[in-house]
Structure 1
């Protein structure tokens, strides 16, 4: 039988609509039952979790003419799920609050923050921030597939862009332009072509005149290449960076949850996590939990965790520890 703590965690994650956390705890219950020799129950729970995972994320039906341009989903990610510095968390809270209070702002001739630019290295939380906004506001998340949007035919990309903004106006949601530099690169760069200048000009006009109820989020790994005219079109610009030692330790604690070692020193663990992104730390924690489950253990080994973090770090050719 599941422990009292596991049952409470299951109920808490269900109430918070934290689907990923719910499934993780369910796997912990399965591991607990397996250790007690209840293999049939453990296998049944694992089967149910696998079935649930195979059906996610839920895809929002979209106009079939845009299926190849936009991927829709219904995130349940919450602000508590993302580890960021306090100042950035407060700015995200402000976007959420202004959305909820937009009618009150309109009475005073003001508009809520709706157009957000996110910039920073891969894996530092930009895409997850979009999921948080959608999850907190209970809106669908629509990700614009930039590789499908940009074509070699003159005028076609701009035409598709106008169609997407028509959808933004008619279908409320959070719209994410990931890898935004594909269309937002500075005009006049050496490798620039006239067609992409026209695309950027179209985007500048469309986003400036957009007054929909949707949120528009643009994410880039390199803000330095963006055209300067873009920045004033956004209501807020958030810059992301690799986690600090405190943020890394907090993230590891949260992700390991019930599998966290009884005594986990901060220094050695954060040293192993140095110079890797939030996403890589999460992957290392998940790999450590898998190792514990497959070894019939209920706690992650500190040695294994450090090795997993180092493996993620060495993947980027950064092997100095």
Structure 2
């Protein structure tokens, strides 16, 4: 059952209006109850949390979403906008990463309270990790949970062979951060902030990077700036100091991989799965790759005889993703 700390956390999160933390602790209580044999209570509590989350998401989507016009003029070539409807429950990530994201939500929702004491909420995040581990998805969830538009910076339109043009376009983007609050995602930021000692056009790279660093330093908007990279080793060391938090996304542990598989196969019939074999087949794959493998196994079952997804089919699909990497 609930521990004293969990009860206090539930009361505190309710008082602060932090629904994300409240639901997270409630699910921890459910998991603890299941471990000590209170399966029925655990399931009822989990179902209640899921129902409340859905009601909250629907209400927020109808009444709280900020309407923002599509970027116009030159900005239309630099930004694409969307309005994600995802929540933290849609992420299957390492517990440490989830806790870091929950902290961002807490500080953003209590921003006025922090500012009244002379502190600023976390708003500049650098996400690092292998492809498919959930970095871009996290940016969508940040936007969805905070009911903000997600602006994705189009690096192909931003970076030109003329440094002056790139700097001018960067200024447009950072002006937009101040004018329209949202989540701004610089994906594959190493293309913009690579190590100054590398590359053929060293001088040009240095000037572009210096402009980016300067804009980061001067930015005082209320928008969230999220930068993501699959290759943190390529980033110039100075870039790390400009972010409030650097979050590393590891490859999923077996428990996370199982959640990914169960979530993706929730709508199809499952056979009696051998999770030990599945864990071994999934080891070393990202959440994105595991999702693709689960989808393949499900489609094979549907297109063959409509029977259940089996451990054999799932393991073959997972191992197939590893083979694809070696080609």
User: TM over 0.5: same fold?
Assistant: yes
| Secondary structure, counterpart of 2:125 in structure 1 | strand
Partner in structure 1 of residue 88 of structure 2: 79
Q: 1:263-305: CA deviations, max 9, x gaps?
A: 2121111111121111011111122222233335263222221
In 1, Cα distance between the equivalents of 2:149 and 2:168?
Answer: 24
Partner in structure 2 of residue 249 of structure 1: 258
* Structure 2 residue 293 is matched with structure 1 residue 284: yes
Checking the alignment, whether the CA contact within 8 Å between 1:59 and 1:71 is kept in structure 2 is: no
Aligned residue pairs: how many?
Answer: 271
In 2, Cα distance between the equivalents of 1:191 and 1:244?
Answer: 39
TM score, norm. by length of structure 2: 0.77
In 2, Cα distance between the equivalents of 1:181 and 1:289?
Answer: 36
**Correspondences of 1:1-321 after superposition (within 5 Å):** 15=55, 17=57, 61-259=70-268, 261-295=270-304, 297=306, 299-317=308-326
Checking the alignment, whether the CA contact within 8 Å between 1:116 and 1:234 is kept in structure 2 is: yes
In 2, Cα distance between the equivalents of 1:70 and 1:222?
Answer: 23
Deviates more, 1:296-305 or 1:170-179: 296-305
Partner in structure 2 of residue 55 of structure 1: none
Residues 174 and 298 of structure 1, relative CA distance in 2, 3 Å threshold = farther
In 2, Cα distance between the equivalents of 1:112 and 1:143?
Answer: 22
TM score, norm. by length of structure 1: 0.79
Checking the alignment, whether the CA contact within 8 Å between 2:264 and 2:294 is kept in structure 1 is: yes
Q: Where does structure 1 lack aligned partners over 5 or more consecutive residues? A: 1-7, 19-57
Deviates more, 1:161-170 or 1:150-159: 150-159
| Secondary structure, counterpart of 1:62 in structure 2 | coil
In 2, Cα distance between the equivalents of 1:59 and 1:281?
Answer: 35
In 1, Cα distance between the equivalents of 2:99 and 2:71?
Answer: 33
How far has the Cα of 1:199 moved from its partner? Answer: 1.2
Residues 317 and 59 of structure 1, relative CA distance in 2, 3 Å threshold = farther
Q: Where does structure 2 lack aligned partners over 5 or more consecutive residues? A: 1-46, 59-66
In 2, Cα distance between the equivalents of 1:305 and 1:66?
Answer: 44
In 2, Cα distance between the equivalents of 1:279 and 1:247?
Answer: 12
Checking the alignment, whether the CA contact within 8 Å between 1:77 and 1:135 is kept in structure 2 is: yes
| Secondary structure, counterpart of 1:233 in structure 2 | coil
How far has the Cα of 1:96 moved from its partner? Answer: 0.8
| Secondary structure, counterpart of 2:185 in structure 1 | strand
How far has the Cα of 1:219 moved from its partner? Answer: 0.4
Q: Runs of at least 4 residues of structure 1 off by over 4 A?
A: 11-14
Partner in structure 2 of residue 32 of structure 1: none
How far has the Cα of 1:207 moved from its partner? Answer: 1.0
